[in-house]
Amino acid sequence: MAISKENFLLVVVALMLISCSTLSLAISDVGPFVVVHKKVSLNRLKSSGSEQVSVSIDIYNQGSATAYDVTLTDDSWTPDVFNLVSGNVTTSWERLDAGSLVSHSFVLESQVKGLFYGAPAVVKFRIPTKAALQAYSTPILPLDILADRAPEKKFEWAKKLLAKYGSLVSVVTIVVLFMYLVASPSKSSAAKGSKKRR
């Protein structure tokens, strides 16, 4: 029994549709997909000669299911170098729904000069069908605490803006000036027009 080309193509298309629908069902049942982003900023305190480290951690659930018993731990900040000023380095949430975001922040202070390499924060969570899972935050760049920074000169930002946008501003100015000259009547043509009316 020979299969015609049309029947063969119909069978292939049907198999592709079945496999795509099976794949989409498998993808939709992935569960929680936790993304953790860690941000750090430095702020030098001139009054005390120390530097504040502000840490902010955002936890996103990009998956299709809820994550339960979510625990954040960021304990890479050694007590010899850092003092906790506000907040906690660990916290927890009962649940993190699909598509939602939670944030946590804390502030540290250091009076020790040097380069610090921080570790990623760890997020542990649970889903009903499996044991505990964990995710790691994005790494941070090395922090140069109490580093000797060159003082920022006055008008440095203006020079940067001029270098970046100067040519664009000059072109726009020339175009606007040209449009003004073309659109506005000149005094000599207005004078000629008034002489002709008399």
pLDDT band at 145 (very low <50, low <70, confident <90, very high): confident
pLDDT, tens digit, 9 for 90 and up, residues 53-90: 999 999 999 988 999 999 999 998 989 999 999 999 99
Q: Which residues contact 40 (CB under 8 A, 6 or more apart)?
A: 53, 54, 55, 56, 118, 140, 143
Q: What is the pLDDT of residue 185?
A: 72
Q: What is the pLDDT of residue 150?
A: 65
DSSP 8-class letter at 189 = H
pLDDT, tens digit, 9 for 90 and up, residues 44-63: 888 888 899 999 999 999 98
Q: What is the pLDDT of residue 169?
A: 79
Neighbours of 90 (CB within 10 A): 13
pLDDT band at 131 (very low <50, low <70, confident <90, very high): confident
pLDDT at 170 over 70: yes
Q: Is 0.85 topped by the overall pTM? A: no
Name residue 38's beta-bridge partners: 57
Mean pLDDT to the nearest integer, 25-48 = 79
Q: Which residues contact 105 (CB under 8 A, 6 or more apart)?
A: 54, 55, 56, 57, 87
Domains in the chain, start-ordered, CATH in brackets?
34-145 (2.60.40.10)
